[in-house]
Structure 1
């Protein structure tokens, strides 16, 4: 079930299975998911499978993007994200989202990205679950590490007109050692009092990749968003101060298919 909640708090009783739980201490890389270390036997099995299987869907990932996201229901929580992008066609991208670009990165969730042409065909209630990318790109939050801006510019011009829908299944920033509870809807940061990117996130990103957000915003000054502006249903929280929360409810199982 999806329902509206205040971006900072709700008056509903917190549920152990709710995606609105408050964060705890951020786990470090010294505290990975629980489990025994990989055995030599398992390494051999994986190596053999890699040789014998195609793994074609994974091989279609062509881009790495580092950016930032915030929780739809709690703008005080912001995370760095690493998108590994597959592009099935010119109007649709799908991204596996990790918490870092390291070999032991944790899979946080998935984001789907559509062109403004596709977005405009969606129902208004569906559009409210999506966020725009215009500010994220123009403000130097969205970067492709290692790719020169000159090479990237055509792609940035296209993506600045796109919209994304990002579900986070593993909330590592609240201390979860495993994916817990239902997914949380994520939003892009905006030039809004509730959605200003935290300075330390930018500083850490710029230091790691030898970047300058100020320089990026200057080179991207001429990038344009969707014609006519960002759709009013996207970035819904910026107009209402309300986010979306998912909760788990028990339901009867459908045991018999309906007649045609």
Structure 2
């Protein structure tokens, strides 16, 4: 799927405005104007982030993403990251999402900052609360082919103010990498079952979940499916 298709699918779900159309939502407190950067319609999804420098540092992270077209150099979805969904949730960072096509054009020195979303989708760790089951499936078929560059600028949400260096975020890419207590807490909050989601998506996509080890160093470049060899998916065995 190229970047035009990427935006087309999300636009078809009503999750992103088509470039050139007026914003679909009014911007509160913006002088009655509807052209502010947060006035666009957006999509929300939830996943578990981990710090690239230490896989044991993990967070339940809420993504709220208005659309943004980057033009010839590659389209970008800009996501604001929070530690919750309430009015007073802490803004903990940002994430940029690009298509696989755009990622492949990046210089090798840049790729070390970007993580894949394949395991998060197939492993059941990524959910889209508020979407219908049908729309969530369509959404995940887009997200599975994207790469993310995320920084947590509030590295410890328990602190009163955001102190410390920003954390470069990596994705969970294999079984046993997620903190089970954190995953259980997330499932309880949104009344979902990651194991059942994993089973359903395996059947829908017809693919085995990826098995990629956590990064050994900050310079490690991400992979989508396997640690070694040709980085391609494995058809589901049963």
What is the CA deviation profile of residues 62-83 of structure 1, one whole-angstrom value per residue up to 9, with x for unaligned ones?
A: 1111111011111111000000
Residue 176 of structure 1 deviates from its aligned partner by: 2.5
Structure 1, gaps ≥5 residues long? 1-47, 245-260
What is the aligned partner in structure 2 of residue 100 from structure 1? 84
**Equivalent residue in structure 2 for 1:223, among 161, 184, 205:** 205
Q: Distance in 2 between matches of 1:122 and 1:224?
A: 29
Q: How many residues are matched?
A: 186
Residue 51 of structure 1 deviates from its aligned partner by: 4.4
What is the aligned partner in structure 1 of residue 191 from structure 2? 210
**Equivalent residue in structure 2 for 1:122, among 102, 106, 109:** 106
Residue 85 of structure 1 deviates from its aligned partner by: 0.8
Residue 207 of structure 1 deviates from its aligned partner by: 1.3
* C-alpha spacing 1:224/1:113, structure 2 compared with 1 (3 Å): farther
**Equivalent residue in structure 2 for 1:180, among 139, 160, 163:** 163
1:151 aligns with 2:135: yes
What is the aligned partner in structure 2 of residue 75 from structure 1? 55
**Equivalent residue in structure 2 for 1:56, among 36, 44, 50:** 36
Residue 219 of structure 1 deviates from its aligned partner by: 1.6
TM-score normalised by the chain length of structure 1: 0.65
Q: Distance in 2 between matches of 1:77 and 1:224?
A: 31
Answer with 1 or 2: which has the greater Rg.
1
RMSD over aligned Cα, in angstroms?
2.6
Contact 1:130 1:165 in 2 (8 A): yes
Q: Distance in 2 between matches of 1:88 and 1:147?
A: 21
**SS of alignment partner, residue 78 of structure 1:** strand
Contact 2:155 2:165 in 1 (8 A): no
- Taking CA–CA contacts closer than 8 Å with sequence separation of 6 or more, which of the two structures ends up with the larger relative contact order? 1
* C-alpha spacing 1:224/1:69, structure 2 compared with 1 (3 Å): farther
TM-score normalised by the chain length of structure 2: 0.70
Residue 54 of structure 1 deviates from its aligned partner by: 3.8
Q: Distance in 1 between matches of 2:133 and 2:75?
A: 22
Which consecutive segments of 4 or more residues in structure 1 shift more than 3 A?
48-55
Contact 1:136 1:189 in 2 (8 A): yes
Residue 50 of structure 1 deviates from its aligned partner by: 4.0
Residue 224 of structure 1 deviates from its aligned partner by: 7.3
Q: Distance in 1 between matches of 2:165 and 2:179?
A: 26
What is the CA deviation profile of residues 195-219 of structure 1, one whole-angstrom value per residue up to 9, with x for unaligned ones?
A: x111111211111211111111112
1:88 aligns with 2:88: no
